[in-house]
Amino acid sequence: MVHPGASRTLRRRVVGWLFAWCVALSGASPSVACAQDDATAAGTGTAEDRAAAAEAYDRGTRALVARDYPTAAQWFETAFRMAPASAALIQAIRSHEHAEDYARAATLALRLASQFPRDRAAARQSARTLEHAERLVRIEPSCSERCTLELEGVLIELAPFFVDAGPAHTLRATFDGGTVERRVAGLEGQVQTVSFDAPAPRVAETVPVPAVSEVAAVVPAAGRGESPAAAASEGISPVFALVACGATAVAGGLLTWSGVDTLSGVPAYRANPTAAGLADGQSRESRTDVLIGVTAGLAATAVVLSIVADWDGPDAPAQVAIVPAAEGASVLVGARY
């Protein structure tokens, strides 16, 4: 006699395997193992890319069997980016439809139809998906110059795409000279053309350079009229502590910038998890770690110099002046030793 719990487990396994078999039979290729054969036969990408695409496709299939449709769609799109094949794109479209992300499914259907015009399975899937696109808004973007396009903070291609009707969506184009942002919204079935013009280049400001006499007036001469007793000091000059504090502030600013730059690359990597993106993220983390060590060392040095400096001695306090220059600014430090 079979235990009732074991019987239920067996039924779930049988249903799962039947679902997986149906997915394999309904795909654009004869089997999951052969799903990327068309890309391999065509010699698309390197051998490493094709191997990575096959692995991503297998992971997408496992997620599809587990009915984790958003994860399945992500893996199928990754497989397509590694080695473009109609089978991967078809499965990505179906996964998005199961996840009720019809805008993304219709966007991929446009790419499927344009990239594989002679593929019958691709044509059928594209036509079937685009039949329901009248409930969406089609956006046709263009840029006056080379640009990078983002939809709600996610990188997309400069090609027609679909969004849900009703709420406004943030569309951002980044050029070499700056960023332009638009809010797009529309009703079901509308087609909107969104054009981005590159921002005008910024004109560099000319900063007048002061005369030498003006600079000399900022920092008074040191050591004039001092007696031997006044020249004596029990500690080092405070100017060293001031310089160390300034260097610590500069290093701290660089550390803050590096940390923000490292965190800003996380969404792009999640949207497009490639080997190059991983190497870039590790490089940013290493740079931030080095800056942490440098900033900590400079801060410790500044503290020690501040302790041993003769702040109450006969030396006049150091004077610091910032003088504008043609290519930035100069920092002048004056003190009596």
pLDDT (tens digit, 9 = 90+) per residue, 64-77? 999 999 999 999 99
Q: pTM of the entire structure?
A: 0.50
Query: DSSP state, 100?
Result: T
**CA neighbor of 79 nearest in space, from 107, 44, 106, 103:** 44
How many Å apart are CA 249 and CA 333, to the nearest integer? Answer: 16
Query: Which domains are delineated in the chain?
Result: 1-131 (1.25.40), 133-202 (2.60.40), 212-334 (no CATH)
Residue 9 pLDDT > 50, yes or no? no
Average pLDDT of every residue of the chain? 77
Report the sign of the C-alpha dihedral through residues 227, 230, 235, 238, in that order. negative
Q: Which pLDDT score is estimated for 209?
A: 65
Q: What are the DSSP calls for 226-289, one per residue?
A: --HHHH--SSB-HHHHHHHHHHHHHHHHHHHHHHHHHHHTHHHHHHS--HHHHHHHHHHHHHHH
**CA neighbor of 333 nearest in space, from 251, 253, 238, 249:** 238
How many Å apart are CA 88 and CA 38, to the nearest integer? Answer: 10
